[in-house]
Chains A and B, each alone.
Chain A
Amino acid sequence: MVILKKSFKNIYRKSRQGLVLWLCLLFIQSPSLFATEVLEPSYQWGRGYHIPSQKFTLGGYAKVAYSYFESAPQELALDDLSLFIAWKPFSRLHLFAELELEDLFTLDGVSSFDESFLVERLYADLLIGENFKLRVGKFLTPYSRWNLMHAAPLVWTSSRPLVTEGFVAANHATGLELFYKTEVFYRDLNISFFADDSKDLEINENMDMFSYAFGGRVDYQLSSSFNIAGSYIAHKKEQQTSEAWQHTVGVDFLWKKDEYELQFEGFYNSLDQEKDRYGLYLQAVTPIVDKLFAVGRYEYMVIGSELLSESESTKPIHLGIVGLTWRPKTPLAVKVEYRFGKNNNSHAPSGVLTSVALFF
């Protein structure tokens, strides 16, 4: 395992050279397929630069955020600059990478490339058949609807719900994920199972990551406008002191019709009785005038004492968010929100949060 870990670290060190090599190989090795070679490469805002003959797409998203907190320093940052690289060298193989520069520019100055560079996702999808897909690499942990669709231009608020910020489960997993999709009563049923070995395979080590984990998610489309899901994860995290496995269960739903949305997620994480963490949020979106939406969210969270310093309270956190989101074009979202709450200063201070996010 030690040898394996060293190997992956070497891979990380060489990732930039590797990426260049990968891109060179792409243009040398990938065969042009059928008449797709007559299609010209093109760039479309929000869909990236696409080369049909190579089945290759280069794109990404960016987010600039400014926050003014009532009891904490104000923040201005290029929060996210993410680059997507997608390539289908063969019809049953899909490679995907998301490379991110996080907080590259802030009010404190410019971070170094090494400090801000993250491999957010790096995986290969093997399409085994119409119903099965195997994913190998680093991917988003399939425990939360928000986590799976967290890109700033997709979500309705500048801030992320506290319960999805990694307290109950890590946001990334590295290992294997098996997807199964089918139809039940003419509606989509998606099931995924994953097994994680971040302790040995993770290339950006951090305190919030899993050591080991396994779990799954079931997502069913109850109607054309209503999806419901449940998830379970058993895991050990790097930061935990005890040797016991943690268990997280979650349920969520999304109702979406005529530009109205209602989304709920709730999680319960158990390590032992004194350190349980649990929380939920309910978010509603309603159109006001053309392309302008009102957003409201209530959050409730109990963070186990294990994660708090001595000065922090273990009292439940209540959070409220009211805001506006303007989507003049699909790839662009301009957001302003006011966050307030009770016992929230340590993790989600009250104040005004704004951001501009776009896919490119």
Chain B
Amino acid sequence: MNNLCIFQRSQRALLFALLLIVPSAYAQEIAVIMGIRSNAKPISLNAREVRQIFLRKDYFTAQGDAWIPVNLNAANPVRAVMTETILQKSVVDLERYWSEMYFDGISPPYVLASEEAVVSFVMETPSAIAYVLACHADSRVHVVYRFQVANDPAFSCAIK
């Protein structure tokens, strides 16, 4: 009787633990990446620094090279999350922001079509910085910042 009671309690505990674990196990991470440089110390950034770089408010890396931020295309769900979470702007606000910058002669970040293209570009370009799903940040790149986002079927590690 006692053993049955312990078994039932442990079943409930296991179920509770699974309920806690499952959502976080399926939550996605987005990684902000740079190419690996043999002569440079790996860096890490915070959310505000990433924001300033992608809004072209911060110009230079610690080594004094110009940042080259790279965006995914406007329809990409990873970009939508980046815009909302890190840049803290709606799509309309961000478009208006870039119109104001355009009047000052400043262009928005370059746009590449896929996460694979982004990884290749970042790998080959010193001071380039971009973002991809963390599962696509392979050994060719260095993760300088990562953040979690709610699980969404649109985020697929299968499509690169």
Contacts and interface: CB of A to CB of B under 8 A. Distances in A.
A36 B110 contact: yes
Nearest to A56: B107
Interface string B96-121: 10111011111110100000000001
A186 B57 contact: no
Contact of A127 (B59, B102, B104, B107): B59
B41 interface: no
B96 to A, nearest CB: 6
Interface string A265-294: 000000000000000000000000000000
Nearest to B127: A34
Contact of B100 (A52, A61, A94, A154): A154
A34 B126 CA distance: 7
Contact of A330 (B96, B127, B128): B96
A320 to B, nearest CB: 26
Interface string A124-147: 000101100000000000000000
B92 A130 contact: no
Contact of A35 (B58, B107, B128): B128
A90 to B, nearest CB: 9
B27 interface: no
Nearest to A129: B60
Contacts of A96: 104-105
A153 to B, nearest CB: 7
Contact of B121 (A38, A151, A186): A38
Interface string A50-66: 10100001010100000
B88 A154 contact: no
A13 interface: no
A151 B103 contact: yes
Interface residues of B, number: 29
B143 interface: no
Given A86-B107, A91-B65, A34 B102 contact: no
B11 to A, nearest CB: 48
B66 interface: yes
Most buried by A among B68, B96, B99, B102: B102
Interface string B53-81: 00001111000011010000000000000
Contacts of A46: 99, 102
Contact of A47 (B59, B66, B100, B108): B108
B107 A331 contact: no
A61 B99 CA distance: 11
A91 B127 CA distance: 12
Nearest to A190: B57
Contacts of B24: none
B102 A47 contact: yes
Contacts of A34: 68, 124-128
Contact of B60 (A48, A50, A130, A330): A130
B79 to A, nearest CB: 15
A84 B105 contact: yes
Contacts of A310: none
Nearest to A90: B66
A91 B56 CA distance: 13
14 contacts: A34-B68, A38-B121, A46-B99, A47-B102, A47-B107, A47-B108, A48-B107, A52-B110, A84-B102, A91-B66, A129-B60, A130-B58, A154-B99, A186-B48
Interface of B: 48, 57-60, 65-66, 68, 88, 92, 95-96, 98-100, 102-108, 110, 121, 124-128
Ranked nearest first, the 7 interchain pairs of A and B with the lowest CB-CB distance are A86-B105, A91-B66, A96-B105, A35-B125, A330-B95, A35-B124, A34-B125
